[in-house]
């Protein structure tokens, strides 16, 4: 039996669950260029999506992470879930843009399927094959 979105939000609230509405009208998950810092609803959506630092192998929890703009805000990037990823302070320093050209440093992006992925520099992997945190890999079928 189908349930209306408003009824589902009520049920989630009653069950002490945090509803994350991607693109819904309940919470604003894209503040564009109006704000550089993430809002509470955007941070919640990032915590649900990324579940901690998105850098492969890192085990820092969401509360220990920064919201990093994939396209830097100062370069015209927007403050939206689609342009943000959670990274710990250490990995934030590694993926933060520098004067080095692409390919000479670690980069982070959101994949076509909405999952964060990290691109290593050419001295680590000449093909720069995107890497994902283990938590984003599909479980193996039995």
Question: Mean pLDDT for the chain?
Answer: 83
Output the CA torsion sign for 36, 39, 44, 49: negative
Which residues constitute the domain of residue 31? 5-136
DSSP-assigned letter for residue 54:
-
Domain count, the chain: 1
Per-residue pLDDT of 35-66, as tens digits, reads 678 888 889 989 999 999 999 999 999 999 99
Residue 120 falls within a domain, yes or no? yes
Q: Does residue 128 contact residue 120 with C-beta atoms inside 8 Å?
A: yes
Residue 36 falls within a domain, yes or no? yes
Query: pTM of the full predicted structure?
Result: 0.76
Half-sphere exposure of 22 (CA within 13 A, CB side): 8
């Amino acid at each position: 039996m189908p349930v209306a979105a408003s009824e589902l939000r009520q049920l989630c609230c009653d069950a002490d669950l945090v509803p994350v509405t991607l693109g819904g009208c309940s919470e604003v998950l894209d503040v564009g260029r109006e704000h550089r810092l993430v809002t509470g609803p955007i941070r919640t959506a990032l915590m649900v999506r990324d579940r901690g630092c998105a850098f492969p192998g890192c085990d820092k929890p969401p509360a220990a992470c920064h919201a990093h703009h994939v396209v830097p805000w100062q370069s015209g990037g927007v403050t939206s879930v689609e342009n943000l990823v959670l990274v710990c302070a250490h990995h934030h320093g590694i993926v933060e843009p520098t004067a080095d050209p692409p390919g000479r440093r670690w980069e982070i992006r959101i994949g076509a399927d909405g999952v964060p992925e990290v691109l290593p520099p050419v001295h680590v992997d000449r093909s720069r094959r995107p890497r994902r945190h283990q938590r984003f890999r599909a479980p193996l079928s039995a």
